Structure formats: structure tokens, C-alpha cells
Amino acid sequence: MRNGLNFLMNRLKKKIESLSIKEILELITSCKDEYKLLMQNSKKKIAEIGARRIPDVSTDDNFVIMTHCHSSIVNAILLEAKRQGKDHFKVVATETQPRLQGRKTVRKLLDAGIEVIHVVDSAMRWVVNHYEVDLIIIGADSITSEGTIINKIGSRLLALVAHEEHVPFYVASPLLKYNPQTSFGILEKIEMRDPKEVWEDAPEGLTILNPAFETVSRRYIDGLITEAGIFASSHVHNYFAKLYPDML
């Protein structure tokens, strides 16, 4: 949404002095539709690129991919791989406390005929070790100019597990999730959500912390899977500027 507003405002600034009110409203509608198409096309491209990271044939016919929370982009990659006839892989999906978004991922993958293993968040390291996970892919809520990504709480823990166990760790995200303001020193804020999501009838006097997101440093990310290709997350600003100059 942030980049969508930049896209719209930059278009308006270039033409607003010569437009009538009616023409301004028409331009807003046109920009909205164009931006929606950009998002749809980027998702399709990412699915095609990301699916290539899933091999056609596995030596043990048991390629294991792990993900965290619910990402429509990650799901698109897995569904595209399935559509291509890659039937040998299975997915480990976390439950994602406290709102259990991981169950949405599980249902969508099961409906597509993909084998899924469901696991509690605190068992991340155990499952990576015991199920010999081959690849980890998560989504992103935001990307900074330094190549740090912000995603659902638990993402950094999974990245650290991947680093410890030498498992490739990828982040799949449209470049539209990049925040250009971070190149000027603006920091992304971590949202603290309602404590009642964690414990609705908690004892009086208890302090409950419910951070919704956390950062994952570029040092733990093997590659950013985007509509522009797969590259080190620290290069995100250059690719964004090249692909979407109207949003800077």
C-alpha cells in the first residue's frame, strides 16, 4: 500500500495542474488498476522463478521445504511447482502463534494435493534436524535498504536454525514490499498487537508482550526471490529503482 500511494502521488504531481477534478479522479482509478496489475504480475513471476528452486527429481524422492506463517507468495511458488508436476516434495508448516496463520497455509496446500507436516513454532529446530529439511522459504512484510526483512515473529529464529543446520534460507517477496524511506534513515516499526491474542482471560497484573513481527538480517538470507530474479537482499534498492522508478 505504501508504494501504491507513492506510485499514485508521483503520477498526480506530474499532471495535476493541467487536470480537471474529473480527470484527476479518472487518473486515480487508472493508477489503482495499473498498480493492482503490477502486483498480480509480480506474484506470477515470483512463482515461476521460485518454483525453479524445487528440483524436478529428488534422489530420495523426498524433498522437504519448510515455511513459516502464511505467505500468498510462498504458497504461489509451491502451487506452481505442483502444477509443473513436481510431486516429490512435501512441506513443513509452522502453526504460527498466537493467531495460527500457519493453518491457512496448511489448508491451501492440502487442497492442492501437497503433503504437509504441521509443527508448533517452538519445534522449529527439532523438525529441521529430524526431517532433514532441504529448503526454507518465507515471505516478507517489508524490506529495508540494507537488505533486512521484516516478517512474522519467529522468522529470525527459523533463519538462525537454517544457518546452524546449513539449510538454504530464501525470502520470497515482491519488490513492492521494499520501503524506499529506509534509505534515508527511517526505521521500520515493529507492531505490538493486543495481548488478548495471546491470553484472552489472563490473570490480573500480568504483562503480556505480543510483538507481531521481527527482523531477519541479510547475513542469514541466501537470496531474495522477486519478480526481478533472485539476488542478495542487500541489492534490493538497485533492483527496485530499476523496475519501479515511479515509486521513488
Check 69, 121, 134, 222 and give the catalytic one: 69
Q: Extract the C-alpha cell encoding 148.
A: 533486512
Asked if residues 99 and 197 have their Cβ atoms less than 8 Å apart, the reply is: yes
Name the pTM for this structure. Answer: 0.93
Respond yes or no: is residue 141 known to be catalytic: yes
Using alpha carbons only, what angle is made at residue 76 by residues 113 and 149, rounded to the nearest 5 degrees? Answer: 130
Distance CA 248, CA 231 (A): 20
Q: Taking the domain 2-247, which CATH number applies? A: 3.40.50.10470
Check 33, 56, 61, 141 and give the catalytic one: 141
HEC-encoded secondary structure of 207-224: CCCCECEEEECHHHCCEE
Residue 146, pLDDT above cutoff 90: yes
**How do strand 142-143 and strand 169-172 relate by DSSP bridges?**
unpaired
pLDDT, one tens digit per residue, over 220-239 is 999 999 999 999 999 999 99
The torsion of the CA quartet 239, 245, 247, 248, rounded to 10 degrees, works out to 80
Bigger pLDDT: 248 or 88?
88
Q: What is the pLDDT of residue 95?
A: 97
Averaged pLDDT, 39-43: 96
Residue 58, pLDDT above cutoff 60: no
Respond yes or no: is residue 69 known to be catalytic: yes
Q: What is the pLDDT of residue 60?
A: 55
Q: What is the pLDDT of residue 46?
A: 98
Task: Report which residue type is found at 64.
Answer: V
Residue 61, pLDDT above cutoff 70: no
Residue 16, pLDDT above cutoff 90: no
Q: So where are the chain's domains?
A: 2-247
**Percent of the chain's residues with pLDDT above 70:** 98
Q: What is the pLDDT of residue 168?
A: 98
